[in-house]
Amino acid sequence: MGLAICFDVIFDDVIWQGAQDGAQLYLLQSNNGDFRGTDENLQQAAFARMRAIETGRSVVNVSTTGTSQAFAPTAPSSTTFPPTPPAPASPPSHYAPD
């Protein structure tokens, strides 16, 4: 598995090193919280799709705050997973208020 963080997808040497090391799948982790309201998430998705086609390997782009996508190297489109809203804060189940 080739691992990289969000912006590494733009660096050829990082991606190709994973392929040379035998990666059959890339997992790109991201926290896009600082880029809400921008096209950054779309830009990452475009690069991830290009890397899937270029390397012949599937790419999964996982975001903690934006959309996540999976790209197959031969598929014309992607699978998109919408952001999950944060869970409400709640006390641990063993907590007993006084």
- What is the distance between the alpha carbons of residues 53 and 61, in angstroms, rounded to a whole number? 14
Per-residue pLDDT of the chain (98 residues; tens, 9 = 90+): 888 877 788 888 888 888 889 989 888 888 766 777 777 777 888 888 888 898 898 988 888 777 788 888 887 666 766 665 655 555 556 655 55
- pTM for the full predicted model: 0.71
Consecutive H or E run containing 85 = none
Q: Which of 72, 63, 67 is nearest to 29 (CA)?
A: 63
